[in-house]
Structures are given as C-alpha cells and as structure tokens.
Amino acid sequence: MENSQLIAIQTFCSSYNVEYSFIESLQRNGMIETVVVSETQFLHIPQLRKIERMIRLHHELDINLEGIEAIHTLLERIDVMEKEMTALKNRLRFFEPGL
C-alpha cells in the first residue's frame, strides 16, 4: 500500500485525543492493522472509520476492549450478511424481473 494511504499513529492519537496504548491494544487484539515504515507505526486510512467507531464505543459508552471486540465481530458478520443478501436479491431479480 502506498504511503498516501497511511497516517502516523502519533498524529492520529493527537488529532483524536486518544491514548497510544489504546490503538496498540486494538492492534494487539487483531481488530486493526498497522504498518511500520522507517521505525514509525502507521494506520491505514481506509480503516479510520472502523477505528473511530471503536473510539466512540470506548469513550462515549465506556465499553471495555473485550466488549469492543465482540461488537466489532458482530458488526463485521452483519456486514457480510448484508452483502450476501444484496447478491441474492440481485440473482433473484435476474430470474424474476418483476420483483
């Protein structure tokens, strides 16, 4: 992935007023991916929406890391199921155009 799709974790943490250790915890638990370039850790910009959601869950709703992980897993499963449902609806429309 090119560097234009990366943001330094230090920059992200200062912009979002988040502790570096929280981002490390998310990475350690496999909820986000980081990249090391020239001894600096970076986040992928496309996953910022997901990280922002996790920050809101933690700060606004006071949900611990285990709870965030459970919610994250469930939301990913829902997303996969919605994509499958859309694909099935499209196939159904192909065979039954009136629907």
What is the DSSP secondary structure assignment for residue 30, as one 8-state letter? T
The arithmetic mean of pLDDT across residues 90-94, rounded, is 88
Binning pLDDT at 50, 70 and 90, where does residue 95 land? confident
- Phi–psi pair at 7, nearest 5 degrees: -135, 135
For domain 3-95, give its CATH number from 1.10.10.10, 3.40.50.2300, 3.40.50.720, 1.10.1660.10. Answer: 1.10.1660.10
pLDDT in tens, 23-71: 999 999 989 999 998 888 999 999 999 999 999 999 999 999 999 999 9
pLDDT in tens, 52-61: 999 999 999 9
3-state secondary structure of 94: helix
